[in-house]
Amino acid sequence: MPVPGITNIGVVTVEKYQRCKDVILANSTALQIRENDRPATGLSDEELASELDLSLWEVREIRAVAKRDANSLDDWRRADEYMQSKHISFVLGNGESRAGGHHDGKAGHDGRKTT
């Protein structure tokens, strides 16, 4: 049985998804999880695919679905509202919006303070 939400031409079974999702979420560098304001270390999609005996496509699909499933609807709504407010601020000309980085008031990777 395919995992709901997967729409590409291949199929990831529920069993494969359940077996691999936690490992992929815990070890993927694509999620950009930071501890103590240091970049996360982890495995590339290619390394995860090799370790879990999956295709590169399967790793990416499992990560995308698992990331979506790991967040509540309220989390997605808050993130959307935040991004919309930053976009509106940028469009109105105060230039506070910037792509990437974290937004906790600490200096970003380029040294600028984020909001």
Could you read off the pLDDT of 14-58 as tens digits, one per residue?
899 999 999 998 888 776 555 666 665 788 899 999 999 999 999
The pLDDT of residue 9: 47
Task: Tell me the CA distances in angstroms from 36 to 33, 40, 42, 93, 106, one per residue in order.
Answer: 10, 10, 15, 33, 12
Show me where the domains of the chain are located.
14-70, 72-115
Could you read off the pLDDT of 52-103 as tens digits, one per residue?
999 999 999 999 888 888 888 888 889 888 888 887 777 777 655 455 444 4
The pLDDT of residue 102: 47
pTM for the structure as a whole: 0.54
